Structures are given as C-alpha cells and as structure tokens.
Structure 1
Amino acid sequence: MKTLYLECNMGAAGDMLTAALLDLLPEERRQKFLKVMNAIPGVQVSVEPAEKCGVRGLHVTVLAHGVEEHSHDVPCGGAGQAHVHEHEHPHDHEHDHEHVHEHEHDHEHAHEHAHDHEHDHHHGHHHASLADVRTIVEGLPVPETVKAKAMEVYGLIAQAEAHAHGQPVELVHFHEVGALDAVADVTAVCLLMEWLGADRVAASPVNLGGGQVKCAHGVLPVPAPATAWLVRDIPCYGGDVQTELCTPTGAALLRTFASSFGPMPAMTVKAVGVGAGNKEFAAANVVRAFLGETGESGASDQVMELACNLDDMTGEAIAYAAGVLLAAGALDVYTEAIQMKKNRPGVKLCCLCRPADAERLSRLMLAHTTSWGVRRCAMERVVQPRECRRVETPYGPVDVKFAPGAQGKAKAEFDQAAAAAAAAGVPLETVLEAARRAFEKR
C-alpha cells in the first residue's frame, strides 16, 4: 500500500505541509505546481531551498495581494510572539491564521498593521465570508475533487473559528489577506495529496507548542481556541518551545487527511520531503513527509463505524441526514432494513469515518436524526492500492482511478465525467466510455 507518513514533531502549518509534500516531487512537477498556484487571482507562491539545524528541505512563501501574513514579535511575558491583527495568534509559519471577525463589531482595532515595510493596506479592510471563499475555490484551475476537498478543509476552519467566537458559521468573516493565504495553503496541500495518490495517510502525535499569545482580547493560552477545537480526538502534546507550533490550517489539514496518529508504521521508504518554517529553534523547525510502501496488500487502515436505529423518520429525512454526514467528511453512509422492538420495521443508519472525525459526526447523527444514541465500533480495513491518472477525451480531461496490477480495475471520476457530459450535451456513458478507451491506450 502506498503510504504517506507526516512527522509533526514541530507542529504543522499549511506552508510547511505544502513544502514537505512538494519536496517529494521531481522538479518538473514543482514547476507545474507553481504554475497552477500562481493562477489564483491575488496570490503569488514561491519556493526556495531551506535548511534548519542542518536538515535541508524546501520553504514555501505565499503572498496575498503582495503581502505575506507575518508573525510580528510583540513582548508577551516571555510567552512568544503575536500579531497586531485581531486574534493575533503567534506562529512560526508567518501566514496561517485567518483573523476571524463577526459582522457586528467595530473594525478599527483590527487594522493596526505594524509592519516594518511600507505597502498599501487597502485590501486589509475587506473581509471574506465562507461563501466568498467557495467562489474563489470554484474558480481555481484544479480538478473538482481537489476543490471539494479544499472546501471540506476550509469548512472545518470556519467551524472552528465559529466555535471559538460563539457565532454561527454564516457570521464568520476572514481578513481578505488571511483568507487568500489559507485558500492557497489548503488548495496546495489538497492538490499535492491528489498528485501523490497515497492510499493511506498517517501522522505522528502533534506538537502544539506552549506558552501564551497576546491578542486583541487579552492573553490566551497555546493552542489557540480554533486549533484546540480542531485537534479534538487527535493525539497531541505541548513542548518546550514557548510559541504556537500548530496553526488552525495545519490542524484542519491533518484532521482531513490523516486516518491514524502514532509511530511511523513499518514501511519501505521511497522518498522523504522536508518543509521548513521561518523561525529558528534549538530543534529543526520542519515537517517531514515519508512516502513509501507498507506491504503488497497494505497494512490495515483504522475506521470507525457509527450506527443508530430509526423507526420514526421518513425516507426523505433519513436521506437528508445521510447527506449532512457525507458533506461533513464521512467516508461512506448507508442504510440497512431492520426489525426493531414491538415488531416495528426500521432503518439502521451507518456511517464510516476516520477515528478523528467520530466525535463530530456522532453529534451530527444525533442532531439530524430522532435517535437518542449512536453506537461506535472501531474497525480495520484493507484498502486496494490505487493511483489516479488524467486522460484526455473529446469532451475534456477526466481523471481515472485504477489499481496497478489489477486487470480491468479502473474507473473514471464520476463528478468530472458528469460535468464533462453536461457541458458537451452528451450522455454520461459516452464520456465514461471515452475515458475508458483513452486510459487503455495510455
């Protein structure tokens, strides 16, 4: 099984994860990556070699409207650094916080940009809602699967910030610079994950850092409230480094992609990628990504099964609940016909998910069904090794997922094929057949 293991001994941030994954790819793919990322309006992405404590890797810089989301050092009782923006969480990756606002507040305190260099800050007064972020993502020159995954990650960030502020997600707004910065980080990681095509992603326990951060509302502990919400059910710890090491974006990406957390599994390592942060510490400020094989059929992959029995919901209501769970990141949702007490016919609603998502999805099941309880069962599965390859058809490019060495086991990505069929005004089967033929001729 093709396995990717992320070593987060110095936390995780969007730019560091991006750099570590990019370091796994050859130079020509890096150039293609930069071309795609720099097509995002208002965003400029650059990559340069970096070294931390003798460990060589890559460093990624993201500019939004020509500005990098900086971490400006402000004395805070020896506890670290802080931004001057509202929610100035300190971090050593310089551009990973989204600076959330609600609608009803005075914006004057949120724009005390104490940069050491001069530039026009007119964009700093604009704010982006989650709907605005979706519009940006929908316009990106990346596959639909990447867009969907990016919105899944950004949706988690918005939920975390909404929880931290005690506001509905609809009222959460982001600084324009921070929104673009995070969109770039999230999209970059989602795109690289798709290119790498790992069957399983695992990660080490996450170092959150320590100390305190100074923000507009006072002094807060590390991890910041949004990060603390996102690392629920994820093994993590504090360390000697008295600053923030894991950002909300980094935590959301780990929560989305990693199916398990713990020591590196027994694997044959084929490549190692290193993503460097900005700051210098006694330990190398890097995230490392190990790409390799864990066996012919693959090591077991842990999943959780959530289930509840329903005898007083309509089919429409159950279908709606299933849709909510899938949109929230469930791996699969299905129903079974069952016979319940008092001889009532009923429906068993089952949800398969990653262990880190079990608590969140359990609450969603309780909220969107009439059940008074959700059963949870840890399970193991063996995943078919697979790769993804893009083929050209008369109706546009379509990604095809296939199992190396398994004759005839290949399938075009449904959403892409459906979109191509709709755009060309032809039956879906026509596009699927064209993709199959193109794949066989590869």
Structure 2
Amino acid sequence: MAKIAYFQCPTGISGDMCLGALVHAGVPLDYLKEKLELLGIGAEYELKSEPVRRQGQLATKVSVNLTQHNSDDHEHHHHSSTTRHLSQIEAIILQAKLPQQVEIRSLAIFRKLAEAEADVHGMTVEEVHFHEVGATDAIVDIVGTCLGLDWLNIEQFYCSTLPTGGGTVWAAHGQLPVPAPAVLKLFEIGKVPVYSNGIERELVTPTGAAIAVTLAQSFGEPPALSIQTIGLGAGSQDLPIPNILRLWVGEQHPSLDSDIFSTVNTEIQTITETISVLQTQIDDLSPQVIAYTFELLFQAGAIDVFSQPITMKKSRLGVLLTVICHPEHRQVCEAILFRETTTLGIRHTLQNRSILKRDIQTVETQYGAVRVKVGFSGKKITNVQPEYEDCAKLAKQHKVSWLEVHRLALQSWYGLP
C-alpha cells in the first residue's frame, strides 16, 4: 500500500513549518543534520528544534539560524542576503550524493522556484538571482523537507487549499503585496485553489509554495487513508488561529480499494470560503426574544442562524445559539448577541466551508414570478430549488397550497407543461 502524506495548511506553508511537522512526525533531527552536512554548507547555519505552543496546542518549531549572515525576521522567514544562481544550488545538491529521491525532489523544487522568479522578473531561469529563496536557510528548508519525506517513505503527497494571506511584506526588491509575486506565479503554475482566511499576514512563502506545487499530486480535501502519524509544525508567531501546519501520514486502507468507492464521483467542483462561527449557551431567555434576535442577525448579514436544545450545568434546560457569517460581519453579529440576549460570553472561530456555485434565476408560473436557486459543479447542474418566500407569498395571494406553487415553479424551470 502506498505511503501517503497530506499537508493541511490552515495558516499557510513555509519551509521551516514543513521541517517542524516532519520532526514532530518522527523524523530524527540528528538524521537531518547528518544528511544536510553532505551539502557542504554546515558552517553557515545551525539547525535547532524545540517544542512550542500555539493557541495552547503543542507543536514543533524548527529554526535555521544563520551563523555568517543576518536574516530578516518575518513570520515565515524571508531569507538572508546571500544570493546564488540556480546552477550553483544544483551543484551543491548534486555533489552531496543524497538519496536519489531526495536529490530528484530537491532539484525539481528549486527549478520550479526559478521558473516562477524568472517569469516575475522577465528573465531566463539561468539569470535568476535567488535573493530570498537561494540563501542558506532556503536550501536547508527544501532539502531537509525532501529528506524527511524520504525518511518516512512517502510515495504520494497531497496538500490542502492554501490561504492567500494579505497586507505587505519586505523583500530584497522592497515592500511587496501579499501573496508575493513569486508565490502568486506558483499558484498559477500549479493551479492551486486558494482562499482568504481573513488573516492579513504573509502565510505562504515562496519556499513553501514551491514545495507544495512541485510535490503535491493534487490540492483540496485529504485522500482516503488510514492515519498513522500526525506531525505539527509551528510557524514563528501567534495568529488568530493556531499557526500550525498539520502533516497527516498514513496508508491507503485496503477496504478503500473495493468497487463501491470507484462509483463515487469525487470530481465535484466547489468554492472554498472562510466563515466566522459564533456560539453562545443561554438558559434564561424568552423564546420570543430569541426569535427577534434571529431577525436582527439576518438583517446584519448572517448567513445562517439556528438554535439547539441543550442541558446545561445544574441540569438547566437551555439553547445553544449558533451564528454563521462572513468574517467582516462578525463584530456586528457579536454586538447584537450581547445587546439582545442575556449571554455573558461568545465563542468565535474561523472555519473553511466548501460551497457550490449558485445562480438565481426567475421563472413565470400562472400565479406569478418565482425565483429559483440553481447549484452548479462546474457546468453541471446539481440542484434546483424555488425560493421559499416567493412560493409562500404567491400561495397566500391566490389561496392555493405552497406545494402547488413550488411544483409549478419547478415545472416551468424544467420546461414541462
């Protein structure tokens, strides 16, 4: 059975986060140090590993501390001022006589990175100076990552969708927008599905993007596998959500080879977006107030609001009130909950959700116009539903059942008599 690695990147990906995840998953740091010495640049850096906590979660932070040059102190470090051409980097890797798979993967990653940089700067691959990604720490990050994957005997590599980040970052060419130009080009080259998680920081570095684009067979949901080990690689700073790259290591389960799974269509084309989820538990509020609060939340832009009956401490009956909204509406929805309910605290998290593309179309029935919501996966229609409010309005006006209006709207959309 194939050994599989899946990189889950809620806060992005960088070379040092990859190393941290691999060490946390069991790759010995001493093994990495021993093999990296073969590169002949050991005097230029020191490799360290330490346990750290991100939002209370224990993870491993691997640092490449330069001994001869200064490096910029960014979230996912931009590399030292040392510059090298691709040919020099390839020579360093080739002379090291690394394991064959490590050599092939490392050279491919740097070649992909050079192609992106060349396109951004309008030059040939041979002319590219690796200001930020050709320095010592980048070589250690990339070759070290390939060494770790080889030590784990990884045959298939997959990666989640990647967050774009935001804001600006300082680099060798000055202040750049995030994603950095080379990262954006790598997203294009690899046809990487991306989304915004609302965090205005550099989340994907050129090194991290090159590793993912070069090695990943596909981006998106994890493949079917039996998980054997989880590796958690920490980023440099605390973010609103745990700044951790999660490496899943496992094998394809034998039962997943059966014919039943071959009939499942996994080619559904979805859109990934970031949402805020607010939750609070209440045991002393009138149902009438809850209904009124629902109305205000929807008016404020909530995507969905719902309540669930729960039993709270001291066996009190209460409700769990959940609000789903876009991150830009979180503060106003939170303010409504504090103002209109008796809650003393609200939990809020950022989550990813996959949605189908939707389109609103209008059809004519004998009772009037009805809007119809149509769901798409690519160009394929997956769902057709007349809008509830339109059906209800016409049913009341003409004193007919809601079901009849709903049926006529579907008939009209499908072109049936």
Bin of the TM-score, shorter chain as denominator length: 0.5 to 0.7
Residue 38 of structure 1 and its aligned partner are, at CA, apart by 4.1
Residue 290 of structure 1 and its aligned partner are, at CA, apart by 0.8
Residue 12 of structure 1 and its aligned partner are, at CA, apart by 0.4
Q: Which residue of 1 aligns with 2:77?
A: 94
- Aligned residues of 1:65 and 1:177 also touching (Cα < 8 A): no
- Aligned residues of 1:2 and 1:298 also touching (Cα < 8 A): no
Identify if the C-alpha distance between structure 1 residues 137 and 216 changes in structure 2 by more than 3 Å, giving closer, same or farther.
closer
- Aligned residues of 1:36 and 1:141 also touching (Cα < 8 A): no
The one-letter code of the counterpart of 2:75 is D
The one-letter code of the counterpart of 1:278 is S
- Aligned residues of 1:222 and 1:243 also touching (Cα < 8 A): yes
The one-letter code of the counterpart of 2:184 is A
The one-letter code of the counterpart of 1:276 is A
How far apart, CA to CA, are the structure 2 residues paired with 1:246 and 1:59? 17
Correspondences of 1:172-187 after superposition (within 5 Å): 172-175=128-131, 178-187=134-143
Q: What are the superposed Cα offsets for residues 38-76 of structure 1, whole Å, 9 maximum, x if unpaired?
A: 4542232111112111111111111344446323xxxxx
Query: 3-state DSSP class of the match of 1:127?
Result: coil
Residue 177 of structure 1 and its aligned partner are, at CA, apart by 8.7
Q: Which residue of 1 aligns with 2:238?
A: 280
Gaps of 5+ in 2: 266-417
How far apart, CA to CA, are the structure 2 residues paired with 1:216 and 1:2? 39
Could you tell me the TM-score, scaled by structure 1's length? Answer: 0.53
Residue 186 of structure 1 and its aligned partner are, at CA, apart by 0.7
Q: Which residue of 1 aligns with 2:123?
A: 167
Residue 223 of structure 1 and its aligned partner are, at CA, apart by 0.6
Q: Which residue of 2 aligns with 1:58?
A: 60
Identify if the C-alpha distance between structure 1 residues 283 and 133 changes in structure 2 by more than 3 Å, giving closer, same or farther.
same
How far apart, CA to CA, are the structure 1 residues paired with 2:231 and 2:170? 33
How far apart, CA to CA, are the structure 1 residues paired with 2:114 and 2:169? 21
1:256 aligns with 2:214: yes
Q: Which residue of 2 aligns with 1:139?
A: 95
Residue 269 of structure 1 and its aligned partner are, at CA, apart by 1.5
Residue 162 of structure 1 and its aligned partner are, at CA, apart by 1.0
Query: 3-state DSSP class of the match of 2:135?
Result: helix
1:204 aligns with 2:160: yes
Q: What are the superposed Cα offsets for residues 105-137 of structure 1, whole Å, 9 maximum, x if unpaired?
A: xxxxxxxxxxxxxxxxxxx4x631111111111
Q: What are the superposed Cα offsets for residues 402-441 of structure 1, whole Å, 9 maximum, x if unpaired?
A: xxxxxxxxxxxxxxxxxxxxxxxxxxxxxxxxxxxxxxxx
1:37 aligns with 2:20: no
How far apart, CA to CA, are the structure 1 residues paired with 2:175 and 2:70? 24
- Aligned residues of 1:201 and 1:257 also touching (Cα < 8 A): yes
- Aligned residues of 2:84 and 2:134 also touching (Cα < 8 A): no
Which among 213, 228, 234 is matched to residue 270 of structure 1? Answer: 228
Correspondences of 1:43-442 after superposition (within 5 Å): 43-67=45-69, 69-71=71-73, 91-95=74-78, 97=79, 124=81, 127-140=83-96, 142-175=98-131, 178-214=134-170, 219-232=175-188, 233-296=191-254
Identify if the C-alpha distance between structure 1 residues 264 and 67 changes in structure 2 by more than 3 Å, giving closer, same or farther.
same
The one-letter code of the counterpart of 2:71 is E
The one-letter code of the counterpart of 1:9 is P
How far apart, CA to CA, are the structure 1 residues paired with 2:147 and 2:172? 35
Residue 178 of structure 1 and its aligned partner are, at CA, apart by 4.6
Could you tell me the TM-score, scaled by structure 2's length? Answer: 0.56
How far apart, CA to CA, are the structure 1 residues paired with 2:210 and 2:195? 17
Identify if the C-alpha distance between structure 1 residues 199 and 171 changes in structure 2 by more than 3 Å, giving closer, same or farther.
closer
How far apart, CA to CA, are the structure 2 residues paired with 1:58 and 1:8? 15
- Aligned residues of 1:210 and 1:239 also touching (Cα < 8 A): no
Gaps of 5+ in 1: 72-90, 99-123, 303-442
What is the number of residues matched between the two proteins?
256
- Aligned residues of 2:89 and 2:134 also touching (Cα < 8 A): no
- Aligned residues of 1:69 and 1:177 also touching (Cα < 8 A): no
- Aligned residues of 1:4 and 1:198 also touching (Cα < 8 A): yes
**How big is the alpha-carbon RMSD for the aligned residues of Structure 1 and Structure 2?**
2.8
How far apart, CA to CA, are the structure 2 residues paired with 1:38 and 1:68? 21
- Aligned residues of 2:85 and 2:134 also touching (Cα < 8 A): no
The one-letter code of the counterpart of 2:19 is T
Residue 219 of structure 1 and its aligned partner are, at CA, apart by 4.8
Identify if the C-alpha distance between structure 1 residues 68 and 2 changes in structure 2 by more than 3 Å, giving closer, same or farther.
farther
Identify if the C-alpha distance between structure 1 residues 240 and 68 changes in structure 2 by more than 3 Å, giving closer, same or farther.
farther
- Aligned residues of 2:47 and 2:62 also touching (Cα < 8 A): yes
Q: What are the superposed Cα offsets for residues 351-406 of structure 1, whole Å, 9 maximum, x if unpaired?
A: xxxxxxxxxxxxxxxxxxxxxxxxxxxxxxxxxxxxxxxxxxxxxxxxxxxxxxxx
Identify if the C-alpha distance between structure 1 residues 277 and 66 changes in structure 2 by more than 3 Å, giving closer, same or farther.
farther
- Aligned residues of 2:225 and 2:250 also touching (Cα < 8 A): yes
Query: 3-state DSSP class of the match of 1:240?
Result: coil
- Aligned residues of 2:54 and 2:244 also touching (Cα < 8 A): yes
How far apart, CA to CA, are the structure 2 residues paired with 1:216 and 1:12? 20
Residue 268 of structure 1 and its aligned partner are, at CA, apart by 2.1
- Aligned residues of 1:69 and 1:178 also touching (Cα < 8 A): no
The one-letter code of the counterpart of 1:43 is Y
1:2 aligns with 2:17: no
- Aligned residues of 2:224 and 2:256 also touching (Cα < 8 A): no
- Aligned residues of 1:38 and 1:44 also touching (Cα < 8 A): no
Residue 259 of structure 1 and its aligned partner are, at CA, apart by 0.8
Identify if the C-alpha distance between structure 1 residues 265 and 18 changes in structure 2 by more than 3 Å, giving closer, same or farther.
same
How far apart, CA to CA, are the structure 2 residues paired with 1:217 and 1:128? 16
The one-letter code of the counterpart of 2:165 is G
How far apart, CA to CA, are the structure 1 residues paired with 2:194 and 2:250? 24
